[in-house]
Amino acid sequence: MSKTPTYFPTIEAVKAAARNLEGISNVTPLIENQQYSSRFDCNISFKREDLQVVRSYKIRGAYNKISSLTSIETVNGVVCASAGNHAQGVALSCKLLKIQGTIFMPTPTPNQKIQRVKMFGEHFIKIVLIGDSFDDAYNAAVEDCNKRKKTFIHPFNDEKVIEGQATLGLELINQAASPIDYIFVAVGGGGLASGMSAVFKELSPNTKIIGVEPEGAPSMKLAFQKGEVVALDSINNFVDGAAVKRVGDKNFQICKENLHDMITVPEGSACQAILDLYNKEAIIAEPAGALSVAALDSFKSEIKCKNVVCIISGGNNDITRTAEIKERALLHSRLKHYFIITFPQRAGALREFVVDILGPNDDITHFEYTKKVSRETGVAVVGIELKSLNDLEPLIAKMKLHNFYGDYLNDKPDLFQFLV
């Protein structure tokens, strides 16, 4: 039995997709960044896909796929499952092409995302909230497709979607003033990385493309290690735009041939990149959109004096997550620490802790305490933010010396999950 040949998008197909997307997706700017260039001693530019109409590159693949449907498929309508950027790309494509679409979203999807999908799709889309997870929504979407003969618009494992995402690569080739040495790109299912890498393999083969996944969802990296696509049992969903249990088969086959390296970065590092991009550059990046920037530290020596591009893949960040993003960044930087503190049940014990134990720059940011009248000591959970890593050891030493120290919670995940 002959083996099915591996699909690779052709330059001709990508150029056709680019023509198809004219006037639909923005030709987003490639902007040199002075601060990061100086910090890493190289030439770093940002490809600003957060400036698309739907604030991510997903419109490229969604529109290219939906616009390719036959007349019968168009009449039957389309279906997708998504709680984020893909849903917005499909919704806008449905409105522009005047095709009816059904978008299945998990019930816990934030209302802000639901409203944005409604805004882009208007009366051309119907939103179905179902289940507690993406998998629940996905299964319901597939069932609806089969029952009503609709077309499922896959977020990444589809040739037309890959070719649409690949148009970003053509833009980069045309925009770059000098040959690009390194490109850092977030990887979820692999749609953007597979499409873009195919373009560079053909037109700029010396460019090294680095795929970046969140540490809590290393599905592509594991597939590289195993030599085949595997499904993760569980993932950390925090970097929701790049957290998938299983990458696409088509995407894996392309990425394993074209990517120079596949790495992971901690979620906390992505959070720090989000804060830096906002505070220093006024760029609003979502967690997946910041992965490419967070990866630079891992390649500091390799990229010195090189031409580097980071793909800011999306900017759909929910403002209600800001506190959590800051918390995760501080924890990653080891500047936020949680303790169980034992307080003597007498007047003045808290004052003693604040005055005699805390350093001049230490700040209590979390405090939970219940007085137990029948005991000599009471237990409190205390979160403390430090200004310097060097302040931790003296703080713990003073706690122990004065009998305030109960336990350190940062390295106890079973307890720590209730605090963050």
Catalogue the active-site residues. Answer: 58, 313
Q: Both ends of the chain: CA-CA distance in Å?
A: 53
What Å distances lie between residue 227 and 87, 159, 219, 230, 319, CA to CA?
A: 31, 21, 12, 9, 39
What Å distances lie between residue 11 and 15, 17, 91, 250, 316, CA to CA?
A: 6, 10, 27, 17, 30
Phi, psi of 342 (to 5 degrees): -100, 115
- Looking at residue 104, its amino acid is F
Angle between helices 249-258 and 219-226 (to 10 degrees): 70
Structure tokens belonging to residue 304: 């010195």
Give the C-alpha separation, 177 to 20, whole Å. 25
What Å distances lie between residue 373 and 219, 347, 367, 376, 406, CA to CA?
A: 51, 13, 19, 8, 19
Give the C-alpha separation, 105 to 138, whole Å. 8
